[in-house]
Amino acid sequence: MKILIVYYSLSGHNETLARQIGKKITQNEIEEIVDQKNRAGAWGKFVAGYDAMFRHLTKIAVVQNSPRDFDLVVIVSPLWAGKLPPGTRTYITMNRENLQKYAFISVSERGKENRKVIDDLQKTALQSPVALLLLNNEEYAVGAEKLIEEFVLNLA
């Protein structure tokens, strides 16, 4: 199975998670979703939260790999106030017709408390994820290796 791993990360947690997953999967490509809007500083974070809350799209850098060339796309992203960040939402919206199957994994402040994002993912991608894991920062920091391993096994 050919797998594309795409990630969006500001703090670096989700990038590290994407690379961790990539080491466990053969035949994969890893690619970053790059938001062209400056999200740095207090104002940038405020605007980012506002954009996430109101499900705004943003301009993202061109992604090299097309999801249609892969059997599965693993989307790795934080959640902001329980919502998809604009960069992640834009990527999914732009590529939803090309997603054969997708999985979603996240490291964020509230982890499993963000379960409402499942409906948002289904509406945005026009399909349900084949696997889902919502980790909070603390779970990830102390080692969620077993949960991540189970997630990867569910991809097959």
pLDDT tens profile 59-69? 999 888 999 99
Average pLDDT of every residue of the chain: 91
Q: Tokens 């402040």 appear where?
A: 109
- 146-155 per-position pLDDT tens digit: 999 999 999 8
Predicted local distance difference test score (pLDDT) of residue 149 = 93
Q: Could you count the other beta carbons within 10 Å of the beta carbon of residue 36?
A: 10
Please give the C-alpha separations between residue 80 and each of 45, 50, 76, 104, 143, in angstroms, as whole numbers: 10, 9, 13, 15, 22
Predicted local distance difference test score (pLDDT) of residue 39 = 81
Give me the domains of the chain, ranges plus CATH numbers: 3-154 (3.40.50.360)
SS3 102: strand
Of 75, 83, 74, nearest to 108 by C-alpha is 83
Please give the C-alpha separations between residue 93 and each of 69, 116, 147, in angstroms, as whole numbers: 17, 18, 28
SS3 129: coil
- In this predicted structure, the answer to whether residue 98 has a pLDDT above a threshold of 90 is yes
7: confidence class by pLDDT, cuts 50, 70, 90: very high
- 45-95 per-position pLDDT tens digit: 778 777 888 888 999 998 889 999 999 999 999 998 889 999 999 999 999
Q: How far apart are CA 16 and CA 23, in angstroms?
A: 11
